[in-house]
Each structure stands twice: as structure tokens, then as C-alpha cells.
């Protein structure tokens, strides 16, 4: 697989939004390994999220620090770069934070996506675009069934609703401006990717279970768990990131077939509860204690969500390489690594993953 991906991305120009975030930094590192020329566009990494800063000395491409809502700046940076690929990851990605800043969440996630696609509309060249949304775009009835790409969209909380709206924006642009029947005219192939809950080293976001677990273990404190019975499609961050790249490659060769939405998640047996995930993390770490919060979350969060990944498996030939235990182990190993070695360890994990 490494050689196959390299054949599509080596020497190609990739415009990557959200490159300073958790998933965006992993994407940036992977594209660097594949020999791509990357231009990132994102806000500066937060003080509480130093992952991206580990790589600042490595010069992994051009970095533009700007807001996705700045339409003119975004268009200027994208058009001047003339990308072969656009991967749109920039977002307000947190459910609980979306309750505090609902309007901003919609502005960033919905209008920001429209800004990216409108800028791409001005490109007078062939370009393949993948917009990353989330597993939470579905109208979640909290049943044990697996959600497929053609299931109804919805969203209880502002974050989920904003990402469902993002999917509608993508569909609208795909119909109105990037219709596959007119590919020879507009030269754009557009797909969306819906990933489950990603875990992995470098995530320092608030109210996320792996970062909270790692911080508590490093400090010798108890791990406070809000919703121990909640079931999520946990997967290591490299799983969907590689899936996005495979989808982008498919858009090059078969845009008519792959200009659509795809789910990326774990195998059905790897949908674990929060409690199971923390217990496994403690066993891998070798010490630690969990405390169940009696208050729970102040705001609503879904308790059950599972994805059907058969479409990606059958059409993209993509499948998870790590089971749940391995994904948790890879994550905890990263956090146990000394800070001055974490950048090298990130590339080591990328190489180990690609060689599987």
C-alpha cells in the first residue's frame, strides 16, 4: 500500500485545511512520508494542543495561519497554490463545546465548508476534493444497528447538526457545480468521508476520553469517566486518515464511481463502551484507577452509535488494520513516550502502520 499511495501523492500538491489539529497533524505527517507538497490552512494550534508544534522544525510544507471563515483569504491561498487534491479537515470538532458556541460551530463547519468549495470552483484545473465530516451526521436512534451512508441525516447537538448540514452543502455543490456528468467542464471530483471516534497520540482536546485518560495516568490521578456505558466506533487515527487518501486516489481514476460519501470505522466487534476502553487503557499502561462520575454529562451526548463500513471495504478495498486493543495500545504507547521523542515515534507508528 505505501508504494500505491506514493504513486498518487508523491510530487502532487495537496491543500490541507485544519493541518494544525490532531487529525490534521497526522495527515500532514503521512503526506510528508508519501512525498506530497502540502499547503496547510488553519488556525494556530491552541496552547492546550501542542501536537503540531512537535513538527515545526521539520518543514513539512507551507503553513498558512488563517480562519476558514475568511473567504477572500482562503480563496487567494488556494488559487495561488493550484492544488491537485484538497482535503478539508478544518472544523469545530467537539460536541460539548458546540453547546457553548453553537452559532460559531455552524459558521466554521457549514459556512467554512462552503467557502472551501466555492474557492475550489474557481480552480481551472483537475482537482480531487475530500470533505471530512463525522459518524455523528446520522439521525441517531441509538439502536444496535449499523448506520449506512444512505441513512437519514440528523443531529441532536449543534456539532452533529452542523456536520449533517455540511454533508448537505457537499451534496449541493456536487449537484450544482461539480456534477459528475459535467466533469470534463468543471474538472472537480468531490467526496465526503464520515469517520468514527478517532483515538491516538497527540490528541490533547478537552472532554475526550483518551486524552483525559492519558493525562490522569501521567499525573497519577484517577480517571474520571462521564458516560461509562456509551458505545462508540473507536479507531486509531491512522485508519481513517489512510482511508481519506485511498478515497482521494480513487477520485483520480474513477471519479464517476467515488464522488459520494463513505463511512470509516472499526469492525463491529470493536465498538466498545467507554468503560471497556478505559479498562483496557489501564491494563496496557500497567496502573491506574477509574472513577465513574455520578453527575454524567451536563449536556446530551449519544449513548450508542455504530457505523457500517462495508461500502468502504467493498468499493475502496479499505479495512481497519488495528483492532480495538491494538488501537488503544498504540495510543497509550505514544503518550508514554518522552516529549522529545514523540515526533519520531509518530513517524515510526506511520511506518509500522503502512507496512502492515
Could you give all domains of the chain from N- to C-terminal order, each with its CATH number?
Answer: 2-354 (3.40.50.720)
Q: Is the model's pLDDT at 296 over the cut of 80?
A: no
Please report the beta strands in 164-222, taking only residues with DSSP state E, as ranges in sequence order. Answer: 188-195, 198-199
Q: Span 240-249, mean pLDDT?
A: 98
User: Taking all residues of the chain, what is their mean pLDDT, rounded to a whole number?
Assistant: 92
Q: Is the model's pLDDT at 48 over the cut of 60?
A: no
Can you tell me which residue has the cell 512537535? 54
What is the structure's pLDDT at 299?
Answer: 62
> What does the pLDDT look like over 307-336, one tens digit per residue?
899 999 999 999 999 998 899 999 999 999
**Is 99 an active-site residue?**
no
* Nearest alpha-carbon partner for 192 in 286, 97, 99, 312: 312
Cα separation of 214 and 239, whole Å?
A: 21
What is the structure's pLDDT at 129?
Answer: 98
What is the structure's pLDDT at 173?
Answer: 98
Q: Is the model's pLDDT at 189 over the cut of 90?
A: yes
If pLDDT is split at 50, 70 and 90, which confidence band does 49 have? low
Look at residue 348 and give its three-state secondary structure.
helix
What is the structure's pLDDT at 144?
Answer: 63
Of 159, 244, 335, 353, which one is the catalytic site residue? 159
Q: Span 187-206, mean pLDDT?
A: 92
Cell (9 digits) for 7: 504513486
> What does the pLDDT look like over 113-126, one tens digit per residue?
999 999 999 999 99
Question: Which is more confidently placed, 67 or 1?
Answer: 67
**pTM for the model:** 0.94
What is the structure's pLDDT at 47?
Answer: 61
Cα separation of 270 and 231, whole Å?
A: 10
Question: Which is more confidently placed, 350 or 142?
Answer: 350
Q: Is the model's pLDDT at 98 over the cut of 90?
A: yes
Please report the beta strands in 24-162, taking only residues with DSSP state E, as ranges in sequence order. Answer: 37-42, 62-65, 85-88, 127-132
Lowest mean per-residue pLDDT among 14-28, 88-102, 133-147, 290-304: 290-304
Q: How many CB atoms lie within 10 A of CB 100?
A: 11
Amino acid at each position: 500500500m505505501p508504494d500505491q499511495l506514493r504513486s498518487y501523492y508523491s510530487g502532487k500538491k495537496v491543500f490541507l485545511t485544519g493541518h494544525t489539529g490532531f487529525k490534521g497533524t497526522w495527515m500532514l505527517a503521512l503526506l510528508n512520508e508519501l512525498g506530497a507538497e502540502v499547503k496547510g490552512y488553519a488556525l494556530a494550534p491552541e496552547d492546550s494542543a501542542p501536537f503540531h508544534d512537535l513538527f515545526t522544525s521539520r518543514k513539512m510544507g507551507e503553513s498558512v495561519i488563517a480562519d476558514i471563515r475568511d473567504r477572500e483569504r482562503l480563496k487567494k491561498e488556494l488559487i495561488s497554490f493550484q492544488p491537485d487534491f484538497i482535503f478539508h479537515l478544518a472544523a469545530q470538532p467537539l460536541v460539548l463545546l458546540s453547546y457553548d458556541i453553537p452559532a460559531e460551530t455552524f459558521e466554521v463547519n457549514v459556512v467554512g465548508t462552503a467557502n472551501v468549495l466555492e474557492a475550489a470552483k474557481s480552480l481551472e484545473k483537475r482537482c480531487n476534493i475530500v470533505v471530512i465530516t463525522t459518524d455523528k451526521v446520522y439521525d441517531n436512534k441509538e439502536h444496535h444497528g449499523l448506520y449506512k451512508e444512505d441513512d437519514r441525516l440528523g443531529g441532536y447537538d449543534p456539532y452533529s447538526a452542523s456536520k449533517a448540514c455540511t454533508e448537505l452543502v457537499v451534496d449541493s455543490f456536487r449537484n450544482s457545480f461539480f456534477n459528475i456528468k459535467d466533469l470534463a467542464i468543471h474538472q472537480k471530483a468531490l467526496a465526503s468521508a464520515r469517520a468514527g471516534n478517532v483515538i491516538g497520540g497527540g490528541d490533547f482536546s478537552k472532554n475526550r476520553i483518551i486524552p483525559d485518560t492519558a493525562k490522569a495516568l501521567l499525573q497519577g490521578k484517577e480517571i474520571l469517566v462521564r458516560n461509562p456505558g456509551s458505545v462508540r466506533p473507536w479507531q486509531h487515527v491512522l485508519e481513517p486518515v489512510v482511508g481519506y487518501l485511498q478515497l482521494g486516489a480513487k477520485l483520480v481514476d474513477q471519479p464517476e464511481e467515488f464522488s459520494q460519501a463513505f463511512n470509516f470505522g472499526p469492525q463491529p466487534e470493536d465498538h466498545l463502551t467507554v468503560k471497556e476502553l478505559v479498562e483496557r487503557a489501564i491494563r496496557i499502561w500497567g496502573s491506574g484507577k477509574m472513577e465513574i462520575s455520578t453527575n454524567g454529562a451536563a449536556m446530551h451526548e449519544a449513548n450508542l452509535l455504530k457505523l457500517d463500513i462495508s461500502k468502504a471495504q467493498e468499493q475502496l478495498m479499505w479495512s481497519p488494520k488495528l483492532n480495538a486493543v491494538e488501537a488503544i495500545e498504540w495510543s497509550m504507547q505514544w503518550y508514554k513516550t518522552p516529549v522529545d521523542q514523540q515526533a519520531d515515534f509518530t513517524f515510526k507508528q506511520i511506518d509500522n502502520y503502512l507496512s502492515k
